[in-house]
A and B are shown apart, each in its own frame.
Chain A
Amino acid sequence: MTPEILAALERAKATKRPVVLGTRLPSGEQVLLPDPGQSAALNDAAAKMLQSDESGTVKIGDSDWFLHAHNPPLRLIVVGAVHIAQALAPFATPCGFAVTVVDPRRSFGSDERFPGVAISNDWPDEALDKFVPDSRTAVVTLTHDPKLDDPALDRALKSDAFYIGALGSRRTHAARLGRLKALGHTDEAMARIRGPVGLDLEAVTAPEIALSIIAELVAVRRGSSLGIRQPKS
């Protein structure tokens, strides 16, 4: 790998630009894609890799190309700088998520309680308007406080977020759905909200609940059947 290619990869990472490192096999000649100087077939194959977030070897013309997708990190927006968030944030990072914790209560959302984690002290609706959750973003609300959770869920439902989870018992969740309905959200749209949040592990402690949330995030991201919620009778 040449210093030029390495520097270009590092620039793409710093600016969160999705790129594909194309390596011709077995010679090792490398290009960064998309690149208008390369064939449409190679650029198309690279775009597919980014879309599916996968890497692999493809045959283009007479050449084998290894196409290595370098997507920016997935994002996890956690609303509520609470105890469970303290367990969740350091766990989500190594799983590939860039984590932001949102809490307007500065005594909760402090650097001291969340060392090395990005914190926003904006109100959740304002924070989500800024972050613009996309199809690589997960939103999890943990405050139990409708004042904070509801505006975040309202914005999350209007976004392309691939995962929306809300902490709270079934009864809390039913009340929450009633309030969101009053804001104009349909039952069908609200089915996107995973409440109670996380895989059903019968989790009790904060780290256990964090584990259940991470487990469900991974299941949804990787397309596991565990990520599909079955209606409870």
Chain B
Amino acid sequence: MNHADSEDILATAAGWRAAGELVAVATVTETWGSSPRPAGSRLAVTKSGKMAGSVSGGCIEGAVADAAMQTIETGTPQLLDFGISHERAWEVGLACGGKVKVFVEKLL
């Protein structure tokens, strides 16, 4: 296993997918400054509203879950950029002052 528990989250997501759920997985791909979760941290989301894992201390989880819902609908991956320079960061509140990029993909 590498950092944290990322593989268990993928296993959980795969289990949901195998049970017929529509699933997206978000992964931290880059961090700057005092981001609470390292690159490789994963959050899995289902269309039905299940969640497992995390990509931050909780401050961007909501915005990432919204993006995951879009990706579940469209099938198109997204690279989200949360940081102090980003308008959205104020909206969702990266209180730690860090920056983080999150890749969101659908489990096909």
Contact B77 A27 (CB under 8 A): yes
Residues B43-83 near A (CB distance < 8 A): 77-79
Asked whether A73 and B1 contact (CB < 8 A) given A6-B107, A55-B38, A68-B27, the answer is yes
CA distance A26 to B1 in the complex (A): 25
In the complex where A1-B105, A2-B108, A6-B14 touch, is A66 in contact with B1 (Cβ < 8 A)? no
Once A and B bind, how many residue pairs between them come within 8 Å at the CB atom?
74
How many residues in A have their beta carbons less than 8 Å from beta carbons of B?
27
A54 to B25, CA, bound (A): 19
Q: In the complex, what residues of B have CB within 8 A of residue A146's CB?
A: none
Set A2, A54, A66: member contacting B29, Cβ < 8 A: A66
State how many angstroms separate the Cβ of A101 from the closest Cβ of chain B: 19
Check: B35 CB closer than 8 A to any chain A CB: no
Closest B residue to A13 using CB positions:
B7
A1 B25 Cβ-Cβ under 8 A:
yes
Q: When each residue 1-32 of chain B gets 1 if its CB lies under 8 Å from chain A and 0 otherwise, what string results?
A: 11101110011001001000000010101100
Contact flag A28-B77 (CB < 8 Å), given A54-B39, A56-B39: yes
Distance, CA A10 to CA B17, complexed state (A): 14
Report chain A residues within 8 Å CB of B14: 6, 10
**A residues adjacent to B (C-beta < 8 A):** 1-3, 6, 9-10, 13, 23, 25-28, 53-57, 66, 68-74, 94, 96
**In the assembled complex, which residues on chain B have CB atoms less than 8 Å from the CB atom of A57?**
29-30, 39, 101
Q: Within 8 Å CB of B105, what residues of A?
A: 1, 23, 28
Q: Note all chain B residues with C-beta closer than 8 A to A53.
A: 2-3
Asked if residues B1 and A28 are in contact (CB atoms below 8 Å), the reply is no
Closest to A18 in B: B2
Q: Looking at the assembled complex, report how far the CB atom of A92 sits from the nearest CB atom of chain B, in whole angstroms.
A: 12
Q: Across the interface, which residues of B come within 8 angstroms of A74, CB to CB?
A: 1
| B7 in contact with A70 (CB, 8 Å) | yes
Does A94 lie within 8 Å of B101, measured CB to CB?
no
Q: Is B98 an interface residue (CB 8 A)?
A: no
- Quick check: B7 and A69 within 8 Å, CB to CB? no
- Shortest CB-to-CB span from A46 to chain B, Å, is 12
> Considering the chains assembled together, what is the distance between the CA atoms of A179 and B3 in angstroms?
38
Chain A residues positioned under 8 Å from B30 (CB to CB): 56-57, 66
Q: Which residue of A lies closest to B76 (CB)?
A: A28
